[in-house]
């Protein structure tokens, strides 16, 4: 039962990271077309509720929000936090 909970936590972080990555790409495309945008607080919220790694990667792959101080500080912080969490989960599961 304990292993299942740890695996679910890892899957949750993976799914939120994919969502964060996708939202950064979608918002970049919308910005280029002067269309509806995703709120900055939504992008940051997704990063801090589990999508830190994907949001951080999306920020640099899509070159989106890289000049906004709060994104340059908060998204790497979220990525580090979730990187540590993933490391601990795998350490508990496989070692």
Q: What is the pLDDT of residues 13-32, one digit of tens each?
A: 999 999 999 999 999 999 99
Residue with tokens 């940051």: 44
Domain span holding position 26:
2-94
pLDDT digits 0-9 by tens, 33-71: 999 999 999 999 999 999 999 999 999 999 999 999 999
13 near 85, Cβ under 8 Å?
A: yes
* Residue 37 CB partners (closer than 8 Å, separation 6+): 27, 30, 31
Identify the burial level of 49 via C-beta atoms within 10 angstroms of its C-beta, where 0-12 means exposed, 13-18 middle and 19 or more buried. middle
Q: What is the pTM of this model?
A: 0.93
Q: Which pair of tokens denotes residue 3?
A: 């292993």
How far, CA to CA in Å, does 85 sit from each of 17, 20, 56, 68? 13, 17, 16, 26
Domains in the chain, number: 1
């Amino acid at each position: 039962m304990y292993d299942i909970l740890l695996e679910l936590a890892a899957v949750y972080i993976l799914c939120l990271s994919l969502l964060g990555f996708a939202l950064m790409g979608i918002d970049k495309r919308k910005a280029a077309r002067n269309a509806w945008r995703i709120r900055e607080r939504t992008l940051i919220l997704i990063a801090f509720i589990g999508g830190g790694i994907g949001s951080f990667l999306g920020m640099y792959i899509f070159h989106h929000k890289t000049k906004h101080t709060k994104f340059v500080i908060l998204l790497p912080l979220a990525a580090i936090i979730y990187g540590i969490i993933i490391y601990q989960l795998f350490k508990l599961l496989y070692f």
